[in-house]
Amino acid sequence: MRIVAILLFLTIGCSHAPQKIEYGVEVCNFCQMTIVSKTHAAQLVTKKGKQLKFDAIECMLHYFRDSNNEANSAIMLVANYNQPGEMINALNAIYLISPNIQSPMGANLSAFNSEEEAAAVRNQHKGDIYNWENLKAKMNVESHPNHTH
């Protein structure tokens, strides 16, 4: 019986489910600014279950650049620009960098659920569309965590 209780505790304690961002309360794990933008936030959960939350997608990318630690991520989420507060898979999202849509840290970077959604917003606001790998290249983030410059 004790073994079952211990296993249950370990399973609950090491949850890889993302926790909801408390906007206006929590601070960015990269830049330490308060997370307020429901259209530009990001978060990741490490393979060990650690929750990291960011006020902007570019902060998560800078975190990867500085820590060289993307491979240790279990879940990577970004805010869906068209649905404020909804988080979508960062690897599948389509990104728009537009000088006419300001993000909290100045990269003017927004995420969308589909290429069609990103293209529709680009038609109104101009800019360039990227997938995750192209975005990392643009932001100088290594795709392979053990690769050195």
Domain holding 100, by residue range, is: 21-138
In a domain, 33, yes or no: yes
pLDDT beneath 70, residues of the chain = 1-15, 142-149
5, part of any domain? no
Does a structural domain hold residue 148? Answer: no
How far apart are the C-alpha atoms of 4 and 55, rounded to whole Å? 39
Helix (H, G, I), strand (E, B) or coil at 128: strand
């000088």: which residue's tokens?
Answer: 99
In the chain, the number of structural domains is: 1
Residue 9 domain-assigned? no
**Does residue 8 lie in a domain region?**
no
pLDDT for the residue 6: 43
CA distance 142 to 145: 6
pTM of the model: 0.83
pLDDT at 71: 78
Query: How much is the pLDDT for 108?
Result: 96
pLDDT number for residue 72? 84
pLDDT of residue 66: 83
pLDDT at position 70 is 79
Residue 147 in any domain: the answer is no
pLDDT at residue 144, as a whole number: 40
Query: Is 149 part of any domain?
Result: no
Whether residue 56 is contained in a domain is answered as yes
Q: What is the pLDDT of residue 95?
A: 98
**Quick check: helix, strand or coil at residue 27?**
strand
